[in-house]
Structure 1
Amino acid sequence: MDVNRVKQILSSSANIEVKYHGASVWIDKLNEDGTTVTVNLRGPLDEQTTVPISDLVEG
Structure 2
Amino acid sequence: MKVQRAQQILNATHKIEVDHNGVAVWIDSVNEEQSTAKVHAEDCPADMKTVSVEELQEVQ
**Consecutive aligned runs of 4 or more in structure 1 exceeding 4 Å deviation:** none
CA contact under 8 A between 1:20 and 1:56: conserved in structure 2?
A: yes
The residue correspondences of 1:1-59 to structure 2 (distance < 5 A) are 1-31=1-31, 33-43=33-43, 45-46=44-45, 47-59=47-59
TM-score normalised by L of structure 2: 0.87
SS in 1 for 2:8: helix
Kindly indicate whether the alpha-carbon contact (under 8 Å) linking 1:3 and 1:34 is maintained by their aligned counterparts in 2: no
Gaps of 5+ in 2: none
**Deviates most, 28-37 or 16-25:** 28-37
Q: 2:28·2:40 contact (CA, 8 Å) conserved in 1?
A: yes
Write the distance in 1 (CA, Å) between the matches of 2:55 and 2:3. 12
Q: TM-score, normalised by structure 1?
A: 0.88
Count of matched residue positions in the alignment of Structure 1 and Structure 2: 58
Q: What is the identity percentage for the equivalent residue pairs of Structure 1 and Structure 2?
A: 38
